[in-house]
Amino acid sequence: MSAYHSRYAEEQGRETRPTFFLYRHQQRPYHIDYCFLPATWLGRIRDVTVGGHGEWASKSDHMPLTVDVGPQAAV
């Protein structure tokens, strides 16, 4: 399961936070980077962030996708 789509309850193809800017151009945004997790981990997601164009475009056309997953609940 996609951590991003689970966290933000967005449909694939309708993402509001782009992870890629073609040729680093802000007017060419796409969401093409993913972090897939087992479905049993989705409840452990603490946060999902996507780096912003202003900070990252000078370094790459891909923005960092960061997923914070908490520990497994004690049994």
Q: Whole-prediction pTM value?
A: 0.89
The answer to whether position 50 is within a domain reads yes
pLDDT tens readout for residues 47-58: 999 999 999 999
Q: How many domains does the chain have?
A: 1
Whether 74 is covered by a domain: the verdict is no
**Is 40 inside a domain boundary?**
yes
Q: Which residues, 6+ apart, have CB-to-CB distance to 21 below 8 Å?
A: 28, 29, 30, 53, 57, 61, 63
pLDDT tens digits for range 5-48: 999 999 999 999 999 999 999 999 999 999 999 999 999 999 99
